[in-house]
Amino acid sequence: MTTRAGDIAADAGQRRRAAGAGAAAVILGAGLGELIAAWWAPAARPTAVVGAALIDLAPPWAKDLAIALFGTADKIALLVGIALVLAAIGGADGLLQRARPPWGAVALLAVGLVGVAAALTRADADALSAVPSAVAGILSAAALAVLVPARRGGPRGDGLSRRRFLLLTVSAAVVGAVAAVASTTSRVASSAVAAIRDALVLPRASTRATVPASASLDIEGIAPVITPNDAFYRIDTALVVPELAPADWRLRIHGLVDHPYELTWDDLMALPLEESVTTLACVSNPVGGDLIGNAVWLGYPVRELLARAAPQPDADMVLSRSVDGFTAGTPLEALTDARNAILAVGMNGEPLPLAHGFPARLVVPGLYGYVSATKWVVELEVTRFDRARAYWTDRGWSERGPIKLQSRIDVPRSGAVAAGRVVIAGVAWQQHVGVARVEVSIDDGAWLDAELATAISDDTWVQWSAAADLAPGEHTIRCRAVSADGEVQTGEAAPVVPDGATGWHAVRVTAR
C-alpha cells in the first residue's frame, strides 16, 4: 500500500513539474520572441499578431463587452488574457510531453506556427514578420524537450536531477519574463517615428480656428471644451500603434474616379492647411460615457482632394484604408458637401499623436469614428456601398453611422452632494446640426431649461449648466438635448450595437 501511495504522490509531483516546465518553456520562447520583434519587426510581436487576429475574428458583442468591462484598457486586458492562455497552453503541453514525448514539444511548435500565420496575414506584413513567432515556437519546443526529455527506457526517471530541473525551469521563466518586460521598454526607446514626430514642425494654418472664451463655463468637474491630446479617448484595433514616417506616407486616391493619383507628404504640406474644431465620437460610447472628445484639427478639405480625382457619377462611398488594414466606408456626400471633412495632420497645435493616426487621418463632422475617422490613412478608394464593405460593417455594425443627438451630466457625479442649491452641468452634442437647448429634470419632474455656453460651431459639443434645489434624500437627475432642427433627444434606451446608444443620462445623488 505504502509503495502505491508513494508512486501516486511521485506521479503527481512529476505531473506538476511537467506542467511547470511547459509554462516556463512558453514564457521563455514568447518573451524572447517579443524582444526580437521589438528590435526588428515591431508590428509582428507574437502577442500582438495573435491578439490582432482575435480582434478581427471576434463577433461585435465581444468588442462591445471588452469596452464595457475594461474601457480603453481593453487592449491591455486582451494582452494579459493572451499571456495567461499561453501559460495554460504551456502547462498542458508539458503534461503531453511527459505522457507522449515528443508531442508536447511538437504542439508548442504548432503554437508558434499559429503565430507565424497570424503575423503573415496582417495587412502590413513582410518577410521578417514571421521571424518572432517562429523563434518563439522553436525556443519553447526546444526548452520543453530539454526540461522534459523523452524517457530512455528505465523507470519513470528523467534525464535531469531535481535540482538541475528546478534551476533550469526557473531560469527559463525568469529569462522569458525579463525579455518580455525589456521588449516593452526597448520598443519605446527605439521608436524612430516618435522622434521624427517630435522634430516635425507643421506649417502655419492658412485659416485659424477661434475658440471663444464664452465656450467654457467656469465649473469644476465639467469636461473641458477642448480635450487635451493625452486625455482624448483612443479606440482602434491596433495592438501595436502603426509607425509611419511622413517620408514613407502616401495617400492613394483611386477607384471610381477619372484621375487617380497619389499624394505625398510634401504635396500635402504645400497645400493651404486649415484649422477647424470637430467633436469626434465613438459608436461604442454608452449613454453618459466618455468615448468622445473635441479637438482643434489642422488639415486639408477631403472635398478638394476628391475633386482633383473627379469621382464618377455612380460612386456613393469612399472606402478609406489604414496602413494596418482597417477600413471605414463613408458616404461620398459627407466628404464632398459643404461640411468640414478633412485629412488631418495636426491635433491641438501638435502633429497628430502616434496613437491618433500620425502622420494623417480623416476627421468628418457628424459621423461616428468607425465609418469616417480612419487613422494612419493611406488610401481613399471611391466605390459604392453595394460593392464594398468596411471593417466594422463586416462585423454587424450599421453601414451608415450618423452620430446621434446626446447629452451628458458631468457634475454632480453619482454619490453624495450637499443639500440645497446644486449646480448641474455637462456637455451636449449633435454634430453638424447643432444643439438648440438642453433640459434637466429632477426626480421625473418638469423639464427645466439649462443655460448653454457659446457653441464653437455646429460641429462641436457645447457645455451647459443648470441649478436646482435638492432637499436631503435621494434624487435622480436627468438631462436631454434638443437639436437645432427641433429633434428632442429620445429617452428610449438603445444599446450601442449596431448604430449608437440612445437614452437619457441619469445621475443618482444623495443630498445631505
Give the integer Cα–Cα distance in Å for 63 and 154: 52
Q: Considering beta carbons, is residue 351 or 369 the nearer one to Mo ion? A: 369
Nearest Cα neighbor of 180 from 142, 132, 212 is: 132
Q: Which segments within 291-355 are labelled E, that is strand?
A: 292-301, 317-322, 327-331, 342-347, 350-351
- Total residues in contact with ligand MTE, by rule CB under 6 A: 19
Question: 233 contacts which partner out of ligand MTE, Mo ion, none, CB within 5 to 8 A by kind?
Answer: ligand MTE
Q: Report in angstroms how near the CB of residue 338 gets to ligand MTE at its nearest.
A: 23
- Residue 49, all three cell numbers: 499578431
Q: Considering beta carbons, is residue 326 or 464 the nearer one to ligand MTE? A: 326
How does DSSP assign 490-502, residue by residue?
A: P---B-STTT--B
Give the integer Cα–Cα distance in Å for 364 and 373: 7
282 contacts Mo ion (rule: CB under 5 A)? yes
Q: Considering beta carbons, is residue 186 or 398 the nearer one to ligand MTE? A: 398
Residue 506 — φ and ψ, nearest 5°? -125, 140
370 contacts Mo ion (rule: CB under 5 A)? yes
Binding-site string for ligand MTE from residue 348 to residue 367, where x marks contact by CB under 6 A and - marks none? --------x-----------
> Do the Cβ atoms of 273 and 300 come closer than 8 Å?
yes
* Residue of 33, 369, 402, 500 interacting with ligand MTE (CB under 6 A): 369
List the beta bridge partners of residue 247: none
- In this chain, which stretch among 56-64, 134-142, 366-374, 448-456 interacts with Mo ion, using CB under 5 A? 366-374
Q: Considering beta carbons, is residue 111 or 362 the nearer one to ligand MTE? A: 362
Give the integer Cα–Cα distance in Å for 127 and 119: 10
Q: Report in angstroms how near the CB of residue 433 gets to ligand MTE at its nearest.
A: 19
* Residue of 233, 249, 300, 429 interacting with ligand MTE (CB under 6 A): 233
282 contacts ligand MTE (rule: CB under 6 A)? yes
Q: Considering beta carbons, is residue 232 or 461 the nearer one to ligand MTE? A: 232
What DSSP state is assigned to residue 417?
E
Give the integer Cα–Cα distance in Å for 265 and 246: 6
Give the integer Cα–Cα distance in Å for 311 and 15: 66
Q: Considering beta carbons, is residue 135 or 362 the nearer one to ligand MTE? A: 362
232 contacts ligand MTE (rule: CB under 6 A)? yes
140 contacts ligand MTE (rule: CB under 6 A)? no
Q: Report in angstroms how near the CB of residue 231 gets to Mo ion at its nearest.
A: 17
- Residue 258, all three cell numbers: 477619372
Binding to ligand MTE, residues 299-338 (CB under 6 A)? 322, 324, 326
- In this chain, which stretch among 62-70, 92-100, 123-131, 368-376 interacts with ligand MTE, using CB under 6 A? 368-376
Q: Report in angstroms how near the CB of residue 103 gets to Mo ion at its nearest.
A: 44
Q: Considering beta carbons, is residue 339 or 375 the nearer one to ligand MTE? A: 375
| 152: number of Cβ within 10 Å | 8
Helices 2-40 and 46-57: crossing angle, nearest 10°? 90
Containing 462, the helix (H) or strand (E) segment is strand 462-470
Q: Which position's Cβ is nearest ligand MTE?
A: 369
- Residue 37, all three cell numbers: 520583434
Q: Report in angstroms how near the CB of residue 298 gets to ligand MTE at its nearest.
A: 14
Question: 232 contacts which partner out of ligand MTE, Mo ion, none, CB within 5 to 8 A by kind?
Answer: ligand MTE
375 contacts ligand MTE (rule: CB under 6 A)? yes
Give the integer Cα–Cα distance in Å for 107 and 483: 59
Q: Considering beta carbons, is residue 236 or 459 the nearer one to ligand MTE? A: 236
Helices 46-57 and 103-120: crossing angle, nearest 10°? 70
User: Residues near 401 by Cβ (< 8 Å), separated by ≥ 6?
Assistant: 283, 367, 368, 370, 371, 372, 499, 500
Give the integer Cα–Cα distance in Å for 72 and 63: 11
Q: Considering beta carbons, is residue 106 or 202 the nearer one to ligand MTE? A: 202
Question: 367 contacts which partner out of Mo ion, ligand MTE, none, CB within 5 to 8 A by kind?
Answer: none
> Do the Cβ atoms of 340 and 304 come closer than 8 Å?
no
376 contacts ligand MTE (rule: CB under 6 A)? yes
Nearest Cα neighbor of 293 from 372, 209, 375, 235 is: 235
Q: Would you tell me which residues interact with Mo ion (CB under 5 A)? A: 235, 282, 369-370
Q: Would you tell me which residues interact with ligand MTE (CB under 6 A)? A: 232-238, 280, 282, 322, 324, 326, 356, 369-370, 373-376
